[in-house]
Amino acid sequence: MDFSTILGKKQWFFVILAGLFITNAVTAELISNKLIEIPLNFSFFGHKFGPFITIVGILPWPIVFLLTDLINEFYGPKVVRRLSWITAGLILYCFILVGVSLAIPAVELPNSGLASDEDYRMVFGQAQMIIIGSITAFLVSQLLDATVFTFIKNKTGDRFVWLRSTGSTLVSQLIDSYIVLYIGFVLPGKMSFIDYMNIAPTNYVLKIVIAFALIPLIYLGHWVLKKHVFTSSKIS
């Protein structure tokens, strides 16, 4: 069967973008139960900053940022909102499957190198509040991203692609960076408020740096889609 006759080029690109979006979002939530250190140090007006601590789940988010902007631009904010709700449901479904797997005892074979129940639970046994925090932060940030993106685009038209892409990310991720840590770690007592006030801003600043670093890739993604898919549109 020739699958190219079932879906058009625009639909196939959407399937690819949506698949990458969902995969990176789910992966980010699965690996967020780990803190890492960013080995950066600098001084600013006599104050020393760094090294910085953040969650390892920040690694897939640049791809999510980029895909959110491309889908928003070419398929519209309604598609982003619907895809965000679907992704949140799939994140919940993934955590349910992980919970079921935790309830099934492991068979520990000698010298197998496979995870014991204790090892497996240490990695995947995330608290319910972390799951709630992750899904809440994801939904709020994505829906806010679509709203801010549309607002800026309505004000600027087809100009300033970087402004609506980066601006929407800066606003949405400010909320995300604080919600996920507060609900997932502070409320259940897994993180002190002092640590929270150190880690959350670091998480957000890193996302700001990432957002600006992605600007060339945003324009590259626009160029590819304009040239090969949406050939009738213009970009500024």
CATH of the domain at 179: 1.10.1760
Closest CA to 185 of 171, 168, 198, 174: 198
Q: What's the pTM?
A: 0.80
Q: What is the mean pLDDT of residues 29-54?
A: 74
Tell whether the model's pLDDT for residue 235 goes beyond 50: no
pLDDT given at position 87: 94
Alpha-carbon gap, residue 35 to 138, rounded angstroms: 19
* Residue 209, domain extent: 3-228
> 131: closest CA among 143, 120, 119, 139?
139
For residue 7, what pLDDT band results from cuts at 50, 70 and 90?
Answer: low
**pLDDT recorded at residue 177:** 80
**235 located within any domain:** no
What backbone torsions phi and psi does residue 224 show, to the nearest 5 degrees?
A: -60, -45
Average pLDDT, stretch 209-219?
Answer: 86
Q: How far is CA 180 from the centre of its chain?
A: 11
Give the model's pLDDT for residue 81. 92
Distances 46 to 42, 43, 134, 146, 199 between C-alpha atoms, Å: 10, 6, 36, 39, 21
Q: To the nearest whole number, what is the mean pLDDT of the chain?
A: 82
What per-residue confidence (pLDDT) applies to 128?
62
Tell me what pLDDT residue 233 has. Answer: 46
Alpha carbon distance 55, 39 (integer Å): 14
Quote the pLDDT of residue 5. Answer: 58
Backbone angles phi, psi at 38, to 5 degrees: -95, 110
- Looking at residue 18, its pLDDT comes to 95
Structural domain includes residue 114: yes
Inter-residue contact 138 to 40 (CB < 8 Å): no
The predicted structure's pLDDT at residue 88: 92
User: Residue 98 to residues 92, 93, 217: CA-CA distances in angstroms?
Assistant: 10, 9, 34
Give residue 47's pLDDT. 63
Model pLDDT, residue 234: 44
Is the pLDDT confidence value at 56 over 90?
A: no
- Residue at 234 is within a domain: no
Q: Is 52 inside any structural domain? A: yes
Whether 157 is in a domain gets the answer yes
Q: How many domains does the chain have?
A: 1
Burial group, residue 168, by CB count within 10 angstroms (0-12, 13-18, 19+): buried
